[in-house]
């Protein structure tokens, strides 16, 4: 018997098409009902219930209760980042279910990956911070430099509060469309909140798409050019 992480079990859970569709529907950080996820997966409510039980047992999903309603969400940001990385691998290998179209172009430009910015805009943030020496990037880890700390503080981001949480401050998340890294972790989430709080962009209802206003795009480029 081999020791170490059991990736085969997780791969089997994610590999089922219906379950993969359910997980993908939750990658923007939303919580959906079993009925909504059944519709996304194209299966009956009874079949969806079985799939959701398996995903929850595998600790890929978490159940949230609000009154009489039950909602399912991804168990952690790490699950979202793993799904994004698998999407990037699938795209790189040519395993695409749909021919790219206008909607795909909007998603490629800017979208939400759980709670941080992905797509071309997400990669732009990562490249800008790394290029200006605000991030120290090595194969082993990503750290915020002293200059980076000063820059983030100037934006109004409370780094002490972010570090007090259990989540890593900075993580590289492989972007499925750009096939390069965008910034995840607590700092990535804080930067998405920064963008939304200032009205630079808004999330499109029912979609992962992040739409920038004209002035918001200009402000974003000024901050992360």
Instruction: Render pLDDT for 34-56 as a digit per residue (tens, 0 to 9).
Output: 998 998 888 898 999 999 999 99
Least confident interval from 86-95, 96-105, 152-161: 96-105
> Given the structure tokens 């909007």, which residue do they identify?
106
| Angular region, 15: left φ>0, alpha ψ -120 to 50, beta rest | alpha
Q: Are 182 and 118 in contact (CB under 8 A)?
A: yes
What is the Cα–Cα distance from 153 to 113, expressed in whole angstroms? 24
What is the Cα–Cα distance from 82 to 116, expressed in whole angstroms? 14
What is the Cα–Cα distance from 147 to 81, expressed in whole angstroms? 27
Q: Count the Cβ atoms, other than its own, within 10 Å of residue 58.
A: 16
| Angular region, 105: left φ>0, alpha ψ -120 to 50, beta rest | alpha
Assign 203 to helix, strand or coil.
strand
What is the Cα–Cα distance from 81 to 176, expressed in whole angstroms? 10
What is the average per-residue pLDDT within 197-207?
90
> How would DSSP label each residue in 19-40?
HHHHHHHTTTS--EEHHHHHHH
> How would DSSP label each residue in 35-78?
HHHHHHHT--HHHHHHHHHHHHHTTSEEEEEETTEEEEEES-HH
Q: Which CATH architecture has domain 7-75?
A: Orthogonal Bundle (1.10)
pLDDT classification of 11: cutoffs 50, 70, 90: confident
Domains of the chain by residue range:
7-75, 78-223
Tell me what pLDDT residue 144 has. Answer: 95
């Amino acid at each position: 018997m081999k020791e170490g992480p059991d990736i085969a079990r997780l791969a089997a859970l994610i590999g089922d098409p219906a379950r993969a569709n359910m997980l993908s529907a939750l990658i923007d950080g939303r919580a959906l009902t079993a009925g909504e996820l059944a519709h996304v997966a194209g299966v009956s409510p009874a079949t969806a219930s079985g799939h959701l039980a398996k995903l929850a047992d595998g600790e890929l999903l978490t159940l949230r209760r609000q009154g009489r309603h039950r909602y399912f969400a991804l168990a952690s940001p790490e699950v979202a980042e793993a799904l994004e990385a698998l999407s990037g691998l699938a795209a790189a290998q040519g395993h695409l279910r749909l021919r790219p179209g206008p909607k795909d172009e909007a998603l490629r430009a800017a979208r939400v990956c759980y709670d941080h910015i992905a797509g071309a805009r997400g990669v732009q943030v990562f490249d800008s911070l790394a290029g200006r020496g605000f991030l120290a990037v090595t194969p082993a880890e990503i750290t915020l430099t002293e200059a980076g700390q000063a820059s983030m503080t100037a934006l109004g981001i409370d780094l002490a509060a972010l570090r007090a949480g259990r989540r890593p401050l900075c993580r590289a998340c492989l972007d499925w469309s750009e096939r390069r890294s965008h910034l995840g972790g607590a700092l990535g989430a804080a930067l998405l909140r920064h963008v939304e709080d200032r009205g630079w962009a808004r999330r499109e209802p029912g979609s992962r798409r992040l739409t920038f206003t004209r002035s918001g795009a200009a402000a974003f480029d000024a901050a992360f050019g």
